Structure 1
Amino acid sequence: MNNSNRTVISRRSRPAKEPLSKDLIVKTALELLKNEGSSGLSMRKIAKALDTGPSSLYVYVTNLQELSAYVLDYGLDKVVLPDAQDGSWKTNLFDALNSYLTVLYESPGIAELALTTIPVGSHSLALMEYILGRLHEGGIRSTSAAWGVDLLLLYATSVAFEQASRDQKGTTLNTILTSYESLDVMRYPMIANLRDELLSSGERFRWGLEVILQGILQRQD
């Protein structure tokens, strides 16, 4: 029996999907990473978000590890590298690392990727090249520069990951302060005496960079 009142929805009336591509996969993966953390970075979830099957993603990326490297690099495109012609080499070095720290902190999940993924993309390489260039200006070369850039990036990444993790879990310094205030002063005299300093922030990040840099300068190989 014919139903003349039935509405027929044509597939042609649906919004056209953006053609699948590596860029689209990476952008989608980054959004999932921001919204769900590391658990969102799975081929199954990415495929679902793109309304496709996981197998179709492997046309563009070899595996999840390769995709993670692309996502990390895409997330680092906001890192600001100061003009090397302006300011001192050390100021530019610290400003670049501070920008890197900020980008990782403001993009939940990226810091964790930076700790677990080998950086191979253009933005990652540009950052490394920039840091090596500033170390070279400061007279740091060869092995000291190669190992130094790794140490500086690891420090910045660890700080960003720690801060981002605390924010995601709702852990504040007040929690730590409360713990310190209830300490047995006789058993932990040093912690009790330096309680305020242990919890202070201020220029702590740059102080750490300075300590690392001075160590590199003292151990030229």
Structure 2
Amino acid sequence: MVDAALDIVAREGYEALTMRRVAAALETGPASRYAHVVNKDDLDELLIGRLCAEIDLPEPDPAAWREQITGVCVRMRDQHLRYPGISRAALAAAPTNEDTPRLAEGMLAILLAGGVAPQAAAWGIGALALYVNAYTLEFSLRGRSGGEWGVGRDELLSRFSNLPDAFPQTKRHAAELTAGTDHERFDFTVELVLGGLARR
């Protein structure tokens, strides 16, 4: 069931995923589709659990904690980008299985090994997970691929430069506001969070 659901999301996006679509993909009747899950929330939890289970977690290394946590975030990002819109399920998931908390446990262990205080580490993993979800959700909502803006950078630059004079900073720094290829913005933000955690 999870494989069929993920296949639908990979091909058509999370918005296309319904219990009825999964049942059709499995060639089962409406009643039998509920034999394994009660509702779409249950299915969402299974999907996110599967994605979390597929992420390898390194043994925490105090000397390499920033690289390790960045690597986990990148793997989370790439998992979510394979399944457009799946971040909606991740943002709403209230896990009852062990796969999702396993990922949080691993991230917490890495931050603690790096000397981050427990409260900062706890909030840090929440902030990082939220950012990964928001970042990948933006990709799916804008319909971007390969890091390109939905309307194109040239169009954005034109729009910013044509703003009224009440927006002097936006007009002056339009190039900076629209800069970034591939995942440069992602890398910047993760490093920004980790830099803040390191200082704490």
Q: TM-score, normalised by structure 1?
A: 0.76
What is the match of residue 98 of structure 1?
A: 74
**Does 2:6 match 1:30?**
yes
Instruction: Indicate how the Cα distance of structure 1 residues 190 and 168 shifts in structure 2: closer, same or farther if over 3 A, else same.
Output: closer
* 1:78-115 per-position Cα deviation (integer Å, ceiling 9, x unaligned): 43434535961111111111121122112213222212
Give the Cα–Cα distance (whole angstroms) in 1 for the partners of residues 193 and 93 of structure 2.
23
Shift of 1:151: 1.0
* 1:150-198 per-position Cα deviation (integer Å, ceiling 9, x unaligned): 11110111111112322269814424233223223x2211001111111
**Does 2:110 match 1:131?**
no
Give the Cα–Cα distance (whole angstroms) in 2 for the partners of residues 206 and 62 of structure 1.
38
What is the match of residue 207 of structure 1?
A: 188
Instruction: Indicate how the Cα distance of structure 1 residues 81 and 199 shifts in structure 2: closer, same or farther if over 3 A, else same.
Output: farther
Say which of 35, 38, 48 aligns to 1:62.
Answer: 38
- 2:23 partner letter: A
Shift of 1:77: 4.1
**Does 2:94 match 1:118?**
yes
What is the match of residue 190 of structure 1?
A: 169
Shift of 1:134: 1.2
Q: Is the 8 A contact 1:76 1:124 kept in 2?
A: yes
What is the match of residue 167 of structure 1?
A: 143
- Within a 5 Å distance, the mapping from 1:13-92 to structure 2 comes to 25-85=1-61, 88-92=64-68
Give the Cα–Cα distance (whole angstroms) in 1 for the partners of residues 115 and 152 of structure 2.
39
Unaligned runs of 5+ in 1: 1-24
SS in 1 for 2:31: helix
SS in 1 for 2:177: helix
What is the match of residue 140 of structure 1?
A: 116
What is the match of residue 11 of structure 1?
A: none
- Work out which of the two has the higher radius of gyration on C-alpha atoms and give 1 or 2: 1
SS in 2 for 1:88: helix
Unaligned runs of 5+ in 2: none
Relative contact order (alpha carbons < 8 A, sep ≥ 6): 1 or 2 greater?
2
- 2:114 partner letter: G
Identity %: 28
Give the Cα–Cα distance (whole angstroms) in 2 for the partners of residues 75 and 66 of structure 1.
15
